[in-house]
Amino acid sequence: MELSLLVVFWYGLLHAFGPDHLTAIADFSIGKNKSKTLRITALFAIGHGLSLFLFAKVLQSIDISENVLAYGDIISAAVIIIMGMYLLYMVATSRIQLRKHIHDDKEHIHIWFGKSHEHNDDNMAKTSSLTLGLLMGAGGVRGMLITLGAVQGGMVDFTMVTAFTLGVMLVFGAFGMVMLYVNQNFLGNLTNVRRTFATAGVISLIVGTNILIG
């Protein structure tokens, strides 16, 4: 059992390095502080693990062709492309804002979408990251089933999904720290913020399109 969990944990690590996942994490982590970045990445990983668990359970009892499974990749690609288009739209319409203020003798930077500062943006980002993780889980079902075929006869239980989710969460958390470094060192003015979001939008379009034609 311990070896099975180790294999699934390792698969979670490798799975998380997919360009679509890292692109999604980058899109949601730009402009966030440390605690918000960690919460967003954790929720994405949890949503991803739960989605894979549910899909794998369904596919264990239903014989579905490879062509149908391929739609999972299409869903993931579509989500990434839509995110890219959204970010580029926000940049083009000047809906990405930045405000600085001093609090406890420290300078704080707030970055938000829209014409006015809405404090529910953070809750929306956390909910969106969980939802995104659930949606993109469909794209990893094939790989999960192949891995599970090598352990426990392909049977899925919640312990194995937890091991997978922890592997994903470790990589996402580490990448979130990379994004935090970018936030703290390169997003000190509105011009850089908009350039960063525009770059993330273009990368999202490239990654999503590559998945579709790959």
Whether the predicted model's global pTM rises above the 0.85 cut: no
Mean pLDDT of 184-213: 88
pLDDT at 18: 80
99-158 per-position pLDDT tens digit: 776 766 666 666 766 665 555 455 666 667 777 777 776 666 556 555 555 455 556 677
**Phi first, then psi: what are they for 113, rounded to 5°?**
-95, 140
Q: Say yes or no to pLDDT of 183 above 90.
A: no
pLDDT confidence bin for 1, thresholds 50/70/90: low
**Phi first, then psi: what are they for 101, rounded to 5°?**
-155, 160
pLDDT at 209: 93
Q: Please tell me which residue, 76 or 118, carries the higher pLDDT value.
A: 76
Q: Please tell me which residue, 203 or 162, carries the higher pLDDT value.
A: 203
pLDDT at 63: 61
Quickly count: other Cβ atoms within 10 Å of residue 43's Cβ.
22
- Name the token pair of 130: 């969980």
Q: What is the DSSP letter of 17?
A: T
pLDDT at 181: 86
Q: Say yes or no to pLDDT of 206 above 90.
A: yes
Q: Please tell me which residue, 27 or 138, carries the higher pLDDT value.
A: 27
- Name the token pair of 102: 């001093």
Helix (H, G, I), strand (E, B) or coil at 93: coil
Enumerate the domain spans of the chain.
2-76+115-188
| Percentage of the residues of the chain whose pLDDT score is greater than 70 | 68
Backbone Cα Rg of the chain: 18
28-70 per-position pLDDT tens digit: 788 777 788 888 888 888 887 777 777 766 766 666 555 556 6
**Phi first, then psi: what are they for 100, rounded to 5°?**
-110, 145
Cα–chain center distance at 103: 31
